[in-house]
Chain A
């Protein structure tokens, strides 16, 4: 095990992480960026490795353009970049336990840690969502954007939120075909308030361009419709949809069956808080921020001294918020390291952040599922994909008094599988919340179950070597 001398270690090479790294390197700070993925840039900055040339998308999207510039800049400024590297633990002395791309374990002890671990997708489980051929919208996006690969030329897209349209648009740009877009929300509930429209004109304009392209390609868009079942013998063959009423309940007699080999589903995003939990950072629950988020102060420092957080993990808000917070965190870290930072720059970024947080609240509202939608999930539907636990088993356990995530874990093994609850806990949290409301119990804040190290599974062999 070796110790390397870095002043700042950044976990996550998405917009927030890479923006912070560049700013810090500009001031001569020795910084390392670690990321689990093959390519740096996170979920937002993806580019096909073979073509590598700027696509139409890059030219259109200023945020992406900025992002790719930052990646180039980071390399020029000699930022140490470790891809395919897992951060397994953070000790109370702020020491990181890392498994690198050669599966070697080492420790890094920086003065300051910046967590920019991003977000993952949320899902609303339906019957058959474990069938091969059912993908998350993010999976389809990464396959097409990073690798130019699709499971089939025709893709069915469903769930809720504007990301459905982004993915559909990207598929069309890459000569894929989108069979249909199924949006659970009613059209009227998706429209933004006019104030937001004014302050975020460029974002809405971009959305409008995407929708125009989708309409031009004659992709059927169905609002107030949800996916009720994925069918197939060994892999996806059919998708069953149904109209929903204003509360999100299926309307009987409106089922439609489509033949499809690939389905992309997504219901918004939730932060990757596990590493922050292990570091001892306080977590708060806020549905307007996308669920459980890392609590930060104005300078983006967490409740643990010298551990900062930026980007989606402080609240889902998309690329502009991540870029903004990456800059704020870097400025705060520079101050902590005793470097001179102009106050006006700091407050300008802070002001911008306020505006971005407003937009974020609206964005997250587009993905919220009503209690009725969650109650309408049929009994036999799997919720925990790893341990094969159904919604009926979970609801029964909650009624028997296992009404915390920790208790459910012990009762049902839910969240104890390979993914450690990353996929199912957002929905289990909702189930606990619904039960608490129904029984008029005091509405306590529902906290995530504790996370233990290593935060991602690890071969024992790596530890022994």
Chain B
């Protein structure tokens, strides 16, 4: 299910990310979480232990439920990371 952008991304602010091999368009300056949510990625990881799906919860760097792999670095908080052109993001599917 796709997320929603209130206004389209201005052309000059478009950056491209790769999420699990798929190209995603994001807006310069936004958080990785915002880019993922806008593209419909809500479930971001499988919780160790219970094996259930998890996604962002607190959105302000506290709960660590939005952990993703960014450019090969595991356990990065999507809500605290900023998008960069060409960034590669891996999430649990």
Contacts and interface: CB of A to CB of B under 8 A. Distances in A.
Interface in A407-428: 417-419, 422-423
Interface stretch (A132-140, A205-213, A367-375): A132-140
Contacts of A200: none
B65 to A, nearest CB: 6
Contacts, number: 141
Nearest to A233: B53
A132 B3 contact: no
A216 interface: no
Interface class of chain B by DSSP? loop
B5 A148 contact: yes
Contacts of B61: 36-37
B7 A50 contact: yes
A51 B9 CA distance: 10
Contacts of A43: 60
A457 interface: yes
B38 to A, nearest CB: 4
A317 to B, nearest CB: 19
Interface residues of B, number: 44
A121 interface: yes
Nearest to A173: B6
A149 B3 contact: yes
Contacts of A183: none
Nearest to B61: A36
Contacts of A1: none
B54 to A, nearest CB: 6
A134 B55 CA distance: 8
A191 interface: no
A150 interface: yes
A414 to B, nearest CB: 13
Nearest to A128: B52
Given A135-B59, A147-B30, A152 B49 contact: no
B92 to A, nearest CB: 11
Interface string A381-407: 000011110000000000000000000
B68 interface: no
Contacts of B17: none
A419 to B, nearest CB: 5
Contact of A139 (B9, B59, B67): B59
Q: Interface residue tally of chain A, by bracket?
A: 35 or more
Contact of B37 (A143, A387, A418, A422): A143
A218 interface: no
B27 A50 contact: yes
Contacts of A386: 64
A143 B34 contact: yes
Contact of A37 (B30, B55, B65, B80): B80
A175 interface: yes
Contact of B4 (A38, A150, A385, A459): A150
A121 B47 contact: no
Given A234-B43, A422-B63, A135 B57 contact: yes
Contacts of A174: 6
Nearest to B36: A149
A151 B79 CA distance: 14
Contacts of B28: 49-50
Nearest to A386: B64
A132 B55 contact: yes
Nearest to B76: A459
Given A50-B7, A139-B58, A84 B53 contact: no
B22 interface: no
A37 B57 CA distance: 16
Interface string A109-144: 000000000001100000000111111101110111
Contact of B65 (A151, A152, A261, A385): A385
Query: Which 3 pairs, one residue from A and one from B, show the smallest C-beta to C-beta distance?
Result: A139-B59, A132-B55, A418-B64
Interface of B: 1, 3-7, 9-10, 13, 27-31, 33-34, 37-38, 42-44, 47, 49-50, 52-65, 67, 73, 75, 79-80, 82
17 contacts: A43-B60, A49-B28, A49-B30, A50-B9, A50-B13, A132-B42, A135-B57, A136-B57, A136-B59, A143-B33, A144-B6, A150-B37, A153-B4, A235-B1, A235-B42, A418-B64, A419-B62
